[in-house]
Structure 1
Amino acid sequence: MRYTSKQYAKALWEVWEEKSPDKRTAVLGRFIKLLKKQRAMKKLDFIIQELEKIYLIKNNLLKAGITAPFPPSKISLERIKKLVPHLFTAQQKGAGFISSFYKHRPDKIILEQKIDKNLIGGFQIKVNDYLIDGSVRNMLVKLKKTNL
């Protein structure tokens, strides 16, 4: 039977939590051997991504990313950090893109920054798999599509 990356990550997390810190290295070693035996090493990157999601949920953290053509000012970053919980609350009442992961508002927001000169202006905010694209590039692409 083939297992998904999510199943591997969940199994590893459950075993990891049960073990004392001095035994966790051995757990990882056995896990890698298992992946090799089942020819699933190619899934390792995806397993790590799933483990990160589990970690964030278990620790009531929310990871968001902002991409802009230049580094945002400290004021802009503070505004965005304040905006993300409101997006969370709004989505919890609606489609629930974050609420499916969290039972209540996260305790802390981890904001990662990326620079992409191709955006021209504006920014993109990504939370989990939800993207808010307020970039000038996206607006120009949409404008081009409507005029064709």
Structure 2
Amino acid sequence: MKISEKIYSQLIFEAFKETDSRKQQQLISGISRLVLKNNDSTKLKKIVEFFEELVLQENGEIKVEFFLAKLPTVDEQQKLIADYAKLKKINPLKIRASFNENRELIGGIQIKTNGEILDGTILNKLIRLKKTLIS
């Protein structure tokens, strides 16, 4: 039976909610055997990512990835987090931010969270301009 990464992560998440440690261990062990039986070990990275999202959601937090051409300073990071929190009307303390350098972006910023991408990079603007000029 095909089981998606989201289903596996939901099963693990529910297993961790179990208060009895013995039962919790049995559930995790059973899920692990199921992953191996279905030859789904290649899905482990995605399973962990979805599990992390579930834990963050449970705590009322969100994971936000910032991509910039050059890594920002600590002050710039705090400003980016504060600006994003203001834009989305959420508490900045509820944001789990990561900052990534991608020199191909040339300049600007790309923000990824929960399947949503906000792209204000120069690279994206150049691509859109090229499409406009070609059509």
- State the alpha-carbon separation in 2 of the partners of residues 78 and 105 from structure 1: 13
Runs of 4+ residues deviating >3 angstroms: 19-30, 104-107
Report the CA distance between 1:63 and its aligned residue. 1.1
| TM-score between both structures, scaled by the size of structure 2 | 0.83
Query: Is the Cα–Cα contact under 8 Å of residues 11 and 31 in structure 2 kept in the other structure?
Result: no
Superimposed CA distance per residue, residues 13-49 of structure 1 (whole angstroms, 9 cap, x where no aligned partner): 1112104567755543332212112332232222112
User: Greater RCO between the two (CA within 8 Å, min separation 6)?
Assistant: 1
Residue 17 of structure 2: aligned partner = 17
Partners of 2:81 and 2:26 lie apart in 1 by 39
Instruction: Quote the Cα distance in structure 2 between the aligned partners of 1:106 and 1:20.
Output: 34
Q: Does the 8 Å contact 1:68/1:115 carry over to 2?
A: yes
AA of the residue aligned to 1:112: S
TM-score by length of 1: 0.77
- 1:1-80 map, 5 Å: 1-20=1-20, 27-80=27-80
Name 2:124's counterpart in structure 1: 138
2-structure distance, mates of 1:11, 1:106: 30
Contact 1:67 1:124 in 2 (8 A): yes
Structure 1 segments unaligned to the other structure (5+ residues): 90-103
Aligned length: 134
2-structure distance, mates of 1:113, 1:105: 19
